[in-house]
Amino acid sequence: MSTPEEDIRPVVTVTLNPAIDQTITVEALRPGHVHRASAVRRNAGGKGVNVASCLADWGTPVVATGLLGSGNAAAFEALFAAKGIADRFVRLPGETRVNVKIADLAAADTTDLNLPGLTADTDALDRVRRTLRELVLPGTPVLLAGSLPDGLPADSYATLTADLRAQGARVVLDSSGPPLAAALAAPDLPFCIKPNRHELEAWAGAPLPAPADLLEAARGLHRSGVAVVVVSLGADGALFVADGPALHARLPAVNALSTVGAGDAMVAGLIAAFGADAPLDGVARLSVAFATAKLGCFGPNLPGADAVRALAGQVELSTL
């Protein structure tokens, strides 16, 4: 007979276009001027990798897969070893891209410079599909996250979602632009999506300036068949739409050491709450707490579980 621990299925994260995030901290960013950096950090990243890292900090078993350049895989391998994340990435010749992030302390903001990376093809995607067939059982939570590398068609996430739905997986999608649009136009929809305001506006093809506009767009996606729609609003928290009343959740402003990866931490909180079969208010509390807790850490990391739970208890919820 299996033990409760054996019944826990690891979360699977899929990152097709990971990156090494190089964060450079300056006192105040002034375009056209010479700056002296106060700190430089390099972290293995990409949306799915960041989510896997936060989930591992929470104590959730995680398997990470996707496409990784063999030329500079050491940073990722060190992260996976340090956090106990199972590494099932498909290696490709070449190097994973490097993203330069300039953290402006005066403005409490970050400027991103995303460099080009690997070029993939349908054979590389098929290798990931075969890996997922080995990993996924009915009920497995699977995250599809981030942009697509050059060479992969825009419907790659739609293809993976159809595969995973056929295997009985619960799919969370966090992407934007054409890959998100293709996935939302496909017959097999993900269980949950988490666009931010700008990504939702890009999908809608129109500005959504008022909270009511965002809410109606999210409700439209829910009516189309996406079970849970979460719209992240940065410092204003997030909207949560599922069956029943929609919710707005937020925490008071905190001093942020780094905003890099806060949205990914929110996705990790969503997945952790789904794994605990939390109701929508519990999903809102935990995901906003994850995002806020991450603001106090550099890189894709969370503080201790007690600190995260304390923040979850402070989340302000309102029914819309």
Indicate the pairing of strand 19-26 with strand 97-104: parallel
Residue 168: Cβ within 10 Å count = 11
Contacts of 269 (CB under 8 A, 6+ apart): 54, 286, 287, 288, 289, 290, 291
Contact 37, 25 (CB under 8 A): yes
Whether 264 is a known active-site residue: answer: yes
7, 112, 264, 281: which is the annotated catalytic residue?
Answer: 264
Residue 96 to residue 99: CA distance in whole angstroms:
10
Contact 238, 230 (CB under 8 A): yes
Residue 158 to residue 161: CA distance in whole angstroms:
5
Give buried/exposed letters for 282-292 (b at 16+ CB in 10 A, else e): ebbbbbbbbbb
Give buried/exposed letters for 96-109 (b at 16+ CB in 10 A, else e): bbbbebbbbeeeee
Residues that are catalytic: 264
